[in-house]
Amino acid sequence: DTEVTQTPKHLVMGMTNKKSLKCEQHMGHRAMYWYKQKAKKPPELMFVYSYEKLSINESVPSRFSPECPNSSLLNLHLHALQPEDSALYLCASSQSQGPNTGELFFGEGSRLTVL
Amino acid sequence: DAKTTQPNSMESNEEEPVHLPCNHSTISGTDYIHWYRQLPSQGPEYVIHGLTSNVNNRMASLAIAEDRKSSTLILHRATLRDAAVYYCILRLYENTGNQFYFGTGTSLTVIP
């Protein structure tokens, strides 16, 4: 199984809603990542988890709250978002966070629209 | 942060080789060079990566300059399915772990 699965594929939410994005992988990878991608722009790194601990937060606003309940699962909790947060949210995983880790495996993304 | 620069767009005829350049003048000695591609409405897909030596795999070849300040992704025979945005990425390793930073990407059009 070499897949990263993201749910939901599409999400529409109001600015007062609370919702979550989910990411799952069963490759035994110990590093997981959240990226944000606006239209026609490259993905921007948001968070990195290594061995279920948050290792990198790229100064992301607190209305985005990541969670890694176990080594296979990564969540992104969303609260009080703004319309400019509308984007494609991509999850990725890699074997480890060591210096010799290989490539990233990406999911297909969750497309978020904030009204 | 180390950064990469790429041409915004390139065109190639089908079944001809394609050379996609990338500049990364601020690269440090431990930064790996990765290439990914992204088809419309999909997540990025790994293509190839390397540190110092040229690399080949079933998808492509990666040529790395001797000073490592630039690299070139080579698709040996472009097909219509190769039309995508190609991203050159530096993988930084620090004690907090790996950080993969995407460049601006090159949109490749393959002409039948």
Residue A98 has pLDDT above 90, yes or no: no
How many CA atoms, within 13 angstroms, populate the side-chain half-sphere of residue B57? 10
Lowest mean pLDDT of A63-72, A90-99, B77-86, name the range. A90-99
Average pLDDT over residues B18-43: 92
pLDDT band at B1 (very low <50, low <70, confident <90, very high): low
What phi and psi, each to the nearest 5 degrees, are found at residue B68?
Answer: 65, 15
pLDDT in tens, B60-107: 999 999 999 999 999 999 999 999 999 999 988 776 677 888 989 999
Say yes or no for a CB contact (<8 Å) between A99 and B97: no
- To the nearest whole number, what is the mean pLDDT of chain A? 92
Contact A32, A74 (CB under 8 A): yes
- Rounded average pLDDT over B23-50: 92
Range name among A59-68, A73-82, A94-103, B24-33 with the lowest pLDDT average: A94-103
- Please, are residues A110 and A89 in contact by the beta-carbon 8 Å criterion? yes
Contact list, B43 vs chain A (CB under 8 Å): 4, 90, 92, 106-109
Phi (first) and psi of residue B90, to 5 degrees: -100, 130
pLDDT reported for residue A103: 87
- The reported pLDDT for the residue numbered B3 is 83
Q: Are A66 and A50 in contact (CB under 8 A)?
A: no
Say yes or no: A55 contacts chain B, CB-CB below 8 A.
yes
Cα–Cα dist B5/B70, whole Å: 9
| Maximum Cα interatomic distance, chain A, rounded to a whole number of Å | 43
